[in-house]
């Protein structure tokens, strides 16, 4: 069973519907004991990272994520769920302080430059270019919605890149952890194939 973490932010229903379509049993939960018993764990997310981290901590799910990752079981972070895996973010909190992430991946989250001549946020389809993960394919055409992008401290943690004015990490990896900035559950057949390749690891 795959657990989808419910901390009050994210396209939980869309992710679960995609898993169901692919034939995987899943549960949406905010209970650490339920999530910890799962064969795979997904951290989705949309919105502001400060609110997301506050909610995750309030529900005591931040420790659950770190402990789960340490077990070596498959873990997937989607969009904001990928950004929260990093050390910190330029998306400052309401008090103007740097927002601290989960620190599972070394690096930071930065806002797209305002002088690219492109609209921010990036909303729409884009190709993956460089790819270094078995669940992804070069030229996969996937759906993005984001104003911030991840900057891994280590090149080896970049699982894929995309270009939107600048080249950035569209996916990140470390051992059993995969984070994707795009939304596989909204990326049609290509997204379902990516989700399926990841979910197979949970069986």
Walk along the chain (203 residues) in steps of 10 and give the mean pLDDT of each run.
93 95 98 96 93 93 97 98 96 76 98 94 97 96 97 98 98 98 98 98 96
Token reading at 117: 């001549």
**Per-residue pLDDT, 91:** 85
Lookup result for tokens 């090149």: 155
List 79, 91, 146, 150, catalytic entry = 79
Contact partners, residue 24, CB within 8 Å, separation at least 6: 2, 199, 202
List 25, 58, 183, 189, catalytic entry = 183
List 133, 146, 150, 185, catalytic entry = 185
Give Cα separations from 167 to 39, 113, 137, 156, 159 (angstroms). 34, 12, 17, 16, 13
Q: Is 79 a catalytic residue?
A: yes
User: For position 154, which CATH number holds?
Assistant: 3.40.50.880
- Decide: pTM greater than 0.85: yes
**Per-residue pLDDT, 94:** 64
Q: Is 183 a catalytic residue?
A: yes
State the Cα angle at 98 between 93 and 100, rounded to 5°.
Answer: 95
Report the distance separating Cα 32 and Cα 140, nearest Å. 34
Of the candidates 54, 70, 56, 63, the one whose C-alpha atom is nearest the C-alpha of residue 5 is 56
**Per-residue pLDDT, 112:** 96
Report the distance separating Cα 93 and Cα 49, nearest Å. 8
Phi first, then psi, for residue 198 (nearest 5°) are -70, -45
**Per-residue pLDDT, 165:** 97
Identify the domain containing residue 169 by its residue range. 2-202
Tally of domains in the chain: 1
């Amino acid at each position: 069973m795959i657990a989808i973490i419910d901390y009050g932010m994210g396209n939980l229903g869309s992710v679960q519907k995609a898993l169901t379509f692919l034939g995987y049993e899943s549960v949406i939960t905010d209970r650490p004991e339920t999530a910890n018993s799962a064969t795979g764990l997904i951290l989705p997310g949309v919105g502001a990272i400060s609110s997301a981290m506050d909610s995750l901590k309030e529900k005591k799910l931040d420790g659950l994520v770190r402990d789960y990752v340490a077990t070596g079981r498959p873990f997937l972070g989607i969009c904001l769920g990928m950004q929260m895996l990093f050390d910190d973010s330029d998306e400052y909190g309401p008090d103007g302080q740097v927002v601290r992430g989960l620190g599972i991946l070394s690096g930071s989250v930065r806002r797209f430059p305002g002088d690219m001549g492109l609209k921010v946020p990036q909303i729409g389809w884009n190709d993956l270019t460089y790819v270094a993960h078995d669940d992804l394919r070069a030229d996969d055409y996937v759906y993005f919605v984001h104003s911030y992008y991840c900057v891994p401290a280590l090149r080896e943690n970049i699982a894929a890149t995309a270009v939107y004015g600048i080249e950035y990490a569209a996916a990140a990896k470390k051992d059993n952890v995969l984070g994707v900035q795009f939304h596989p559950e909204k990326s049609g057949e290509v997204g379902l194939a990516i989700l399926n390749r990841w979910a197979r690891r949970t069986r």
